[in-house]
Amino acid sequence: MSSLFSWKVHTSGDVVAPDERLSWPRTIGIGLQHIAAMFGATFLVPIITGMSPTTTLFFSGIGTMLFLLITKNRVPSYLGSSFAFLAPIAAAKADGGMGAALGGVVAAGVILALIGLIVRAVGMKWIEWMLPPVVTGAIVMVIGLNLAGAAKNNLAAGPLVGIITLAAIALIAAISHGFLGRISIFVGIVIGYAVALGMGDVKTDGIKGAKWVALPTFTSPTFNGNAIILFLPVVLVLIAENVGHVKAVAAITGRNLDDEIGNALLADGLATTLAGAGGGSGTTTYAENIGVMAATKVYSTAAYWIAGIGAVVLSLSPKFGAVLSATPTGALGGAGVALFGMIGVLGARIWIEAKVDFANSSNLIIVASALVIGIADISWTKGDFTFSGIINATVVAIVGYRVLHSLSKR
């Protein structure tokens, strides 16, 4: 254990490796940058879903430290709220309340952890077989665009604030090409919040009554089979995100980290399970923090320990959480228009980067069918279980790809 927390002091070269560190003051500074990078995205999920922001931040910090322990400080990463949970949490809440949504988060975490154990035992070739880019891209796009209706409803609740928020996000993203551009959605929400506050549309009673320092509020999950089914596609997205993160870190550090992919999946699964068990959102590795590493060339895991500890400290302020929870609905609507659309476009990015061939009629019909089923939320009920559009689209994408491509090779 002592060797795990013994980083070599960096002495030469531009790149600070995961097992190295700068001086502690500079390491703390880099850690604070990581907190700022994850901040906007991590808080958007609880703000949009109605979860406790401080509880989510608490488990985000705990999950990050757990991830670093399990990957033996070889994979620098921050675990923040995953946008992939937005749609199933919203659907599960509408049917069974927050407890059912948290039960789904726990189930997703357990499944991901088990997959991590399997990958550690037999490798990940089977994942690559099951989730080729054409399938992964379709699932990611469906998860984003399935939420278009939620964005519309929130925007309708405060159209002026929503439009200002959306315009601010767009302008910040266009003008700033640095760190500010990376957190444009969060900054846009802050601007929309300020406008609504000036208009008197923000309810401040909860803010005034909240304590400055206290433990986060913990909420227990309940387990409902109907709700748990909604979260199964999220597991596939988390697999893709974690594998992509480990490979990205390996590429930029010049180290082979394939043997840590199973550990990364296990760690994120356990972190998600822990978060769901206490009232937080599911977690994933963060591209925003990859951006900080690329900009600073500091890949030291010591900085991520600072970020994880810092997140836990910030989570101990209920007043801070109350400010976030009072975010006006119109601002959420404006942010949702941009955010949910961006998640959808990430699916297209997967296709582009993998050079998916849409001249292939099998690829085309699989994606076309999955998108319509998922976006229109074409559902069906069997007994006590309702299979939502996202579930059905996922099944069509995975099973359809294997069946049609097997037939086409005959």
- Mean pLDDT for 62-82 is 90
Distance CA 140, CA 233 (A): 9
Mean pLDDT across the chain, nearest whole number?
Answer: 84
Top pLDDT among 292 and 219 is at 219
**One-letter amino acid of 303:** A
Closest CA to 101 of 41, 45, 42, 185: 45
Give the rounded percent of residues in the chain with a pLDDT score beyond 90: 20
Q: Coil, strand or helix: which one is 298?
A: strand
Give me the pLDDT at residue 61, please.
Answer: 92
Long-range pairs for 18-27 at CB < 8 Å and ≥24 separation?
Answer: 18/73, 18/74, 18/75, 18/76, 18/249, 18/253, 18/255, 18/299, 18/300, 18/301, 19/73, 19/74, 19/300, 19/301, 20/300, 21/300, 21/302, 21/303, 22/298, 22/300, 27/300, 27/302, 27/303, 27/306
Please provide the size of the chain in residues: 410
User: 179 with 375: CB under 8 angstroms?
Assistant: no
Three-class secondary structure of residue 315 per DSSP: coil
pLDDT tens string 254-288? 778 888 889 999 999 999 999 999 999 998 886 66
- Confidence check: pLDDT of 410 > 70: no
Q: 338 CB contacts (<8 Å, ≥6 apart)?
A: 166, 169, 170, 185, 188
Per-residue confidence at 66, pLDDT binned at 50, 70, 90? very high
Confidence of residue 163 (pLDDT cuts 50, 70, 90): very high
Helix (H) / strand (E) containing 386: strand 385-387
Rg of the chain over all Cα atoms, to the nearest angstrom: 21
pTM to 2 decimals?
0.77
pLDDT in tens, 109-146: 999 999 999 999 998 888 888 888 898 888 878 877 87
The average pLDDT across 224-229 equals 86
